[in-house]
Structure 1
Amino acid sequence: MSRFLSSLLPSASYNPIDDLELSNSRSSPTSTRPAGPRRRLAPLVYLSLLHVAFVALVFKAWSHPPHGGPSGWSPYSSSHNGEDPAKLEWDMSPEGLAKFGVDAMYERQSTTLRQATARYELKTGRRTPRGFDKWFEWVSSRGLLVDEYDQIYNDFKPFYDLRSPHHIRATIQQDKALVEAGGTQMFAYESRDGRVRRTSAEGPFDAIWEDIMNKFAADVPSFDAIFNYQDEPRVVFNVRSPDARSRAWNLSDPKPYFLNPDPSADFFEKEGHCLYPNSDSGLFEATNKEDAFLISAVSQGFTTDLRPVISQTKISPCFADILTPSPYYYHREWWGPKEPYDDPDNIPWDEKAEKLYWRGSSSGGAVKGQNYHHMQRTRLLDLANARPDMIDAKFTRYVYCNEECDQMEKEYPLGEKQSWQHAYQYKYLFDIDGNTFSGRFIGLLMGGSLVFKSTIWQEFFTPWLKPYVHYVPVLPDLSDLYEKIEWAQRSPIEARRIALAGREMARRVITDDQLDAYTYAVMLELAEIQGGWELADGKKVVDVETGEQVGTQ
């Protein structure tokens, strides 16, 4: 047990750039001097000192609230009130371990600008973007994540790899002209002199994104941005394909953002634009014929060029959009949950119904003929109809089906739309893709039920919320759903542990401030790829298109 607990301990104020150098006073490996009493006692003394240091670090870590965590919490089962921590019991309950997991995440964040800079440079190979110091000050003062932005680094990497701010600026200017002309379902923004303004027509989310960016614009260099307000991503460009670099330079799409293949199934599968695996391990088997978007996308408007477009979700590596948090996850926004979560804890785990629960619309793909039988939400209802003792799933309305709607309702009668509180009465909740991401994942996690999730989509929080740790993943074709539910039924302790870990992450990490911090970091990178950057070792970057040296301006 002690070995397990010690492996979970946060590293306190450890700073990788302040590591002590090893002493060079060790005896020569060729020395034949016999080990005297003092030399034999040295290891014991050394171990004793390590023990004292360990106890001091533990006491220090838990006598102060962890970075980003609630003040006063400790892993002990009760407040120590000045008692000797060594005499107190650890809180090894599922609740205690769930809190400890999030506390450990916050505890490992950088605590100084120097440390955050070192970690950024190690991960990216670049100097931190201009304005990084102000960003660090803002997130640190609010106890937010500092070092957990690998999704951003990965999204921007292809544009840094081009090594041409000139090319990127020219591409964005082309896009601004297209967006301002109308019909793209995107917004164009420009940030000048510390103020962001929209330069295109209004639409969903326009003021939300403008307001968020204006919170930080004064501390971010000038930039232009293209935001996509469709649920679907737009940039069909596989950055991992062997010819990606040459294709990235060749902007060959004759009508960017107006590519609407019909059917989308042929475009993605037969033409090879996106073959998505049903599983991330084992022999490859595409799930294209089992996913509504890949079968018959509702909204399209794609481009096959590499262009820096900000979107809410994407399939990786088929799409190269840059991710940002969706307004659907902001508690303060109208687009967020339509009702408060009230008190999700008012239903104890043991009193929740032992079934998988789901309600939602028939969204996912444009229905044509009988293709809806292959779409994931319809397959979920088929599974529910076959095992009503295990799954309670119903459509609450029909969309994107035209004349097929009547036939669908005969096969799948509608159920009543229910509240979040009603959903929390069930021990197992399901999050399944619609047109793209469902937008309800975080709300489901907050209820303390075990969330099962089937998705092919990446979102900004994908690296933070981990399968088998915070939720139970289900294959896109749902072929393992029965199996996963049966596992939860026979493993109630582990199921509850995952449920509580997911709830803790949703409540304490996916906050409005954290979403703002993520968008703030995206703004810094947008400005950097347009204005120039330096490598981590200080070397200047030469624009490969103009031959001019670029750098921080």
Structure 2
Amino acid sequence: MLHPIDLLIFDGRNHHDKFLSQAKVSKNLKEAVIEYRHRYKQYPPPGFDRWYHYATSRSSVVIEDFDQIHHDLLPFRAYSPQRLRELTHQVATNPFNDVGAVIIRNGTPRVQEGVKPTHAWMVEGAAKMIEPFSEYLPDMDLVFNLNDEPRIAVPYDRITKMRAAGESIEAPPQDQVLNGWSIDRGDGWTPVEPADQTQETPFVDRSWSDDVFDDPISLVCPSSSKARRDRVWDRRNICLSCIRPHSLGQFVSDWDRAADICHQPDLAHLHGFFLSAASLKVSQELLPVFSQSSVRGFNDILFPSPWNYVDKVKYQPSEEHPDVPYLDKENTLFWIGATSEGVGLSGRWQGMARQRFTHLINNNTLNKVSVMLPAAKQGSYNYKILDGRAPQEKLGLNASVHIAERIVRCGDCDTQAEEFHTVGKVDFQDHWRYRFLFDLDGAAFSGRFLPFLQSNSLPFKTALFRQWFDSRISAWRHFVPQDLRLHDVWSTLAYFAGVRNGEEVIMPPHDREALWITEEGRKWAAQAIRKEDMEIYFFRLLLEWGRLTDDRRDELGFKL
């Protein structure tokens, strides 16, 4: 009998093969234009030929599949170009809004003066990413979110109508297509400097609040969804109806649906973003804000993170910190990090994923755990209910999970310090000692995931937030997905690490499968999530945004 993970790895292989079959179909510019028209029912934007040459000359393995960009920008078609420019100015010129702007004129990007100094690197990193292709961009201003958390949560009914309005716009007849930007575009943008010229704001500050899931967050879901109708009060037990749509038993079977909050009302108590976000200035009006990550249902425009582009955290093994082959590493699951997911007030930290994970591994003395193990009948498996300490003490599973240095973002800091017993900080490059690296959200996306993917270690990942590249990676082929509830951690580790009771081997490690996923993730990161791929994605995004903000946008398009 196959283990469920065997089936999921098979599905992961097929999922990625399906993606590859449509990600790059065209063999030349003409075919790329045809594929674009077929896929998006429009002509490509002006400058598409420049983008195509840029992408192909850098060996991009993705030419056709930019559905994330289409999804993010579609509702903005409900606004006129002038309205988009007005909103850009309004958002960019009030310091309360926690944004920074990049101004592009005559093919040169420049960072807005007066950006918050502690966060200026984000906007400077975005401008640096734009520079290699900026000469091909029209004049425009761009607004970047300086906070980790996403910002735009338009209620479901309203955004659905805006999307429908965007879909209804037809491509112009071929003889009326204008292959070029409007003249004097720069004059249409009201200057965003000084940065403090606007007093009104569309954002409401809900930072540190514990009641944001009902309003505004769940309002991004249909009124018929569980997130709008149901509340899960039993926090001791898993909400089985919440996990069923994206799970095969304990295990995540649909990584995309696992991020959909609309069938998971229990997440209101299981993530720092919902429990008490450190920075949540949110708008229920659609605004042109570019963010590094977002939550399903939010309407921020995703762009590649400067964090990864400027190497804030980098995969950089050395003689002192070598990345040895997978089988030569310690057979241990490793995570160390800060309590940065949300603000720990009045016991809310007990629901946050980082604290729950640390408790599960180190302090779970009261709650039972369920672990899938071989059954008495040879070749079959079943779930066994064990004491919380049994995975390490009786099954020989090794995990090193710790909060580093000191408790941060807290009101009841002493209580957490007593619970977690923090340890000293470690060099990031020390991660490569371990076979299994666990990745968790912080206040938003985790900047560690790409280095983990590039390494010889096997990444385990749980996440609420999604980034620009999530549509091009496949769970169970490039990484091992984990549910936000963390009920699958021990069973997954048992599968890959193997289970022993003293000298007795209860389940051998699935080294072949682990090596395959590790190598597939490494290869794919080197092919499809390079810095060049960040530039290619951003270039295409800004050509599309340039068309949206052009007064003649309904006539603009690239044609041979």
* Matches of 2:26 and 2:410, distance apart in 1: 54
1:533 is displaced (CA, Å) by 6.7
Structure 1 residue ranges, 4+ long, deviating more than 6 angstroms after superposition: 100-107, 246-249
What are the within-5 Å matches in structure 2 for residues 510-525 of structure 1?
510-525=529-544
Quick one: which amino acid aligns to residue 358 of structure 1?
W
1:125 is displaced (CA, Å) by 1.3
Does 2:52 align with 1:141?
A: no
Quick one: which amino acid aligns to residue 180 of structure 1?
T
Shift in alpha-carbon separation, 1:229–1:261, aligned structure 2, 3 A? closer
User: Which of 211, 221, 225 lines up with 1:266 in the alignment?
Assistant: 211
The equivalent of 2:305 in structure 1 is 326
Quick one: which amino acid aligns to residue 303 of structure 2?
T
The equivalent of 1:308 in structure 2 is 288
Conserved? CA contact 2:143–2:290, under 8 Å: yes
The equivalent of 2:97 in structure 1 is 184
The equivalent of 1:335 in structure 2 is 312
1:322 is displaced (CA, Å) by 0.5
The higher-RCO structure (CA 8 Å, 6+ apart) is: 2
In terms of Rg, which structure is larger?
1
1:436 is displaced (CA, Å) by 0.9
Shift in alpha-carbon separation, 1:268–1:233, aligned structure 2, 3 A? same
* Matches of 2:424 and 2:409, distance apart in 1: 19
User: Which of 418, 424, 440 lines up with 2:426 in the alignment?
Assistant: 418
1:512 is displaced (CA, Å) by 1.4
Conserved? CA contact 1:220–1:524, under 8 Å: yes
Does 2:286 align with 1:369?
A: no
1:224-256 CA distance string (max 9 Å, x none): 211112111111125x5466427999xxxx954
Conserved? CA contact 1:119–1:147, under 8 Å: yes
Shift in alpha-carbon separation, 1:451–1:216, aligned structure 2, 3 A? same
User: Which of 359, 362, 378 lines up with 2:336 in the alignment?
Assistant: 359
Overall identity of the aligned pairs, in %: 25
Structure 2 SS opposite 1:111: coil
Conserved? CA contact 1:180–1:199, under 8 Å: no
How many equivalent residue pairs? Answer: 430
1:299-347 CA distance string (max 9 Å, x none): 1111110111100000011x100111111212xx25242x723488742
Structure 2 SS opposite 1:204: helix
Could you tell me the TM-score, scaled by structure 2's length? Answer: 0.70
The equivalent of 1:8 in structure 2 is none
Conserved? CA contact 2:307–2:447, under 8 Å: yes
The equivalent of 1:54 in structure 2 is none
The equivalent of 2:246 in structure 1 is 281
The equivalent of 1:380 in structure 2 is 357
* Matches of 1:137 and 1:521, distance apart in 2: 12
Structure 2 SS opposite 1:201: coil
* Matches of 2:545 and 2:23, distance apart in 1: 29
1:297 is displaced (CA, Å) by 0.4
Conserved? CA contact 2:205–2:280, under 8 Å: yes
Tell me the C-alpha RMSD between the 2 structures. 3.2
* Matches of 2:544 and 2:302, distance apart in 1: 12
Does 2:110 align with 1:197?
A: yes
Structure 2 SS opposite 1:205: helix
1:188 is displaced (CA, Å) by 2.0
Quick one: which amino acid aligns to residue 316 of structure 1?
R
The equivalent of 1:407 in structure 2 is 415
Q: Specify every segment of 5 or more residues in structure 2 that has no aligned partner in the other structure, as ranges.
A: 1-12, 166-198, 222-226, 228-241, 248-261, 363-388, 498-508
* Matches of 2:398 and 2:71, distance apart in 1: 39
1:125-148 CA distance string (max 9 Å, x none): 111011111111111111123223
The equivalent of 2:253 in structure 1 is none
1:510 is displaced (CA, Å) by 1.7
Q: Specify every segment of 5 or more residues in structure 1 that has no aligned partner in the other structure, as ranges.
A: 1-96, 535-540, 542-549
1:193 is displaced (CA, Å) by 2.2
1:104 is displaced (CA, Å) by 6.6
Conserved? CA contact 1:429–1:452, under 8 Å: yes
1:490-536 CA distance string (max 9 Å, x none): 432212211111111123322111111111112111101111577xx
The equivalent of 2:180 in structure 1 is none
Quick one: which amino acid aligns to residue 276 of structure 2?
S
Quick one: which amino acid aligns to residue 366 of structure 1?
V
* Matches of 1:334 and 1:375, distance apart in 2: 27
Could you tell me the TM-score, scaled by structure 1's length? Answer: 0.71
1:172 is displaced (CA, Å) by 2.2
* Matches of 1:360 and 1:182, distance apart in 2: 30
1:412 is displaced (CA, Å) by 0.6
* Matches of 2:163 and 2:271, distance apart in 1: 28
Structure 1 SS opposite 2:82: helix
Shift in alpha-carbon separation, 1:301–1:262, aligned structure 2, 3 A? closer
Shift in alpha-carbon separation, 1:289–1:412, aligned structure 2, 3 A? same
1:289 is displaced (CA, Å) by 0.7
User: Which of 124, 131, 138 lines up with 1:214 in the alignment?
Assistant: 131
